[in-house]
C-alpha cells in the first residue's frame, strides 16, 4: 500500500511538472551563432510561477492581463565561431528595456547575469541589455579584478569556440499583457569583447542572434474603469470648472481614452494618465 501511495504521488508530480512545459518554435540563429554547423541551440520553457496564466496543451494561456508569469528557461547547445581569434564571445543578452526581468540560475564558469553592460573605452562601447556576460579575464585597456561584477572591463571567454557549447538556465518574469497572440517571440544578441567588453578590436558584425518563440494564447480584453484620486475645482471660470486626473488599469494598458459617446463616438483625448 505504501509503495502504491508513493507511486501515485510520484506520478502526480511528474504529470504536473510535464504539464507546465511550453512548446518552443522558431529557433533560429545568425552571425557567429550559426557558423559552427550542428543542430543549433535547444530551448526549453517551464512555467514555475504565475498569476493569471496556466499551461494547457503546452501553450501558455492568459486569463488575466494584469498578472505576471515566470518561466524557467534553459538555452543549451549554444555555439559561437571565434574565427580569427579576435572575437572572443563576451555577452549573450536581450534587448535594452525588453519589458521583462531575467535572473540567472546556472551559468557557465565565470559568466553571470547582469541588468546591462557597456563596453570599455578601448572597445566600441556597445551597450547590451539584460542577459549574461563573461567576467573572468584581464585585458589590455583596463584593470579588472576576476569576477568583480564589472563585465565591461574584461576580455571575452578565451576558451570558447566551435566544438564547445554554452548553456544558460535562468528565470524570466514578464507582465501577462505582453501576451497578445498565438506566440511570444524573444531575441538574444551575442557580442565579442571588442564590443561590450574591453578589447580594442571590435566585431563588425552585430547580427549575432538567437531567436525563439513560446506558444501562447492571448489575454482576453479586460478594460478596467479609470479612477481618480483628486478632483480639482477651478473657481476662476464661470460656470465653475472641475478637473480630474484619470488613471487607467492594466487591462487597457494604463491608457485612458475619452470619447463623446458611450459607444463609438469621436475621440476627445487620450493619455497615460489622462
**pLDDT exceeds 50 at position 138:** yes
Kindly state the percentage of the chain with pLDDT values over 70: 74
Q: Give pLDDT, residue 45.
A: 97
At 194, list the grid cell: 571588442
Considering only 47-51, 94-98, 114-118, 210-214, which range has the smallest mean pLDDT? 94-98
Q: Give pLDDT, residue 87.
A: 84
* Alpha carbon distances (Å) from 180 to 175, 205, 220: 11, 32, 9
Domain residue ranges in the chain: 2-217, 231-271
Dist. CA 136–CA 166, nearest whole Å: 15
Q: Is the peptide bond before 239 cis (omega within 30 degrees of 0)?
A: yes
Per the listing, cell 517571440 goes with: 185
Please report which residue ranges of the chain form alpha helices under DSSP H: 2-19
Handedness of CA 248, 254, 257, 263 (dihedral sign): negative
Residues 6+ apart with CB under 8 A from 131: 91, 92, 93, 94, 102, 113, 114, 188, 189
CB 8 within 8 A of CB 198: no
**pLDDT exceeds 90 at position 185:** yes
Q: Which of 224, 188, 223, 226 lies closest to 208 in space, CA to CA?
A: 188
**pTM reported for the whole predicted model:** 0.75
At 70, list the grid cell: 515566470
Q: Is the peptide bond before 273 cis (omega within 30 degrees of 0)?
A: yes
Beta partners for 145? none
Q: Which of 136, 143, 97, 103 lies closest to 120 in space, CA to CA?
A: 143
At 43, list the grid cell: 530551448
At 163, list the grid cell: 566544438
Beta strand pairing call for 241-244 and 256-259: unpaired
**pLDDT exceeds 50 at position 2:** no
Tell me the pLDDT band of 168, cut-offs 50, 70 and 90: very high
Kind and range of the H or E run holding 135: none
Q: Give pLDDT, residue 266.
A: 79
pLDDT tens by residue, 8-63: 333 334 334 445 999 999 999 999 999 998 889 999 999 999 999 999 999 999 99
Amino acid at each position: 500500500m505504501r509503495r502504491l501511495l508513493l507511486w501515485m504521488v510520484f506520478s502526480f508530480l511528474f504529470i504536473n511538472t510535464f504539464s507546465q512545459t511550453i512548446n518552443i518554435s522558431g529557433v533560429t540563429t545568425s552571425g557567429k551563432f550559426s557558423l559552427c554547423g550542428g543542430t543549433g541551440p535547444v530551448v526549453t520553457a517551464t512555467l514555475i510561477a504565475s498569476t493569471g496564466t496556466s499551461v494547457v496543451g503546452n501553450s501558455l494561456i492568459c486569463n488575466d492581463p494584469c498578472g505576471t508569469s515566470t518561466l524557467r528557461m534553459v538555452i543549451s547547445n549554444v555555439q559561437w565561431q571565434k574565427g580569427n581569434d579576435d572575437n572572443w564571445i563576451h555577452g549573450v543578452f536581450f534587448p535594452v528595456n525588453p519589458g521583462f526581468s531575467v535572473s540567472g540560475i546556472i551559468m557557465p564558469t565565470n559568466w553571470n547575469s547582469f541588468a546591462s553592460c557597456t563596453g570599455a573605452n578601448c572597445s566600441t562601447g556597445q551597450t547590451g541589455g539584460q542577459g549574461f556576460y563573461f567576467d573572468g579575464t584581464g585585458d589590455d585597456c583596463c584593470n579588472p579584478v576576476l569576477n568583480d561584477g564589472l563585465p565591461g572591463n574584461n576580455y571575452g571567454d578565451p576558451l570558447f569556440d566551435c566544438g564547445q557549447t554554452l548553456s544558460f538556465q535562468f528565470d524570466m518574469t514578464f507582465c501577462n499583457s505582453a501576451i497578445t497572440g498565438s506566440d511570444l517571440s524573444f531575441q538574444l544578441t551575442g557580442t565579442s569583447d571588442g564590443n561590450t567588453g574591453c578589447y580594442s578590436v571590435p566585431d563588425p558584425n552585430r547580427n549575432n542572434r538567437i531567436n525563439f518563440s513560446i506558444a501562447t494564447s492571448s489575454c482576453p480584453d479586460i478594460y478596467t474603469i479609470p479612477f481618480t484620486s483628486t478632483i480639482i475645482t477651478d473657481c476662476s471660470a464661470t460656470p465653475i470648472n472641475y478637473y480630474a486626473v484619470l488613471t487607467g488599469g492594466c487591462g487597457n494598458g494604463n491608457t485612458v481614452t475619452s470619447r463623446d459617446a458611450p459607444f463609438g463616438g469621436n475621440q476627445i483625448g487620450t493619455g497615460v494618465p489622462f
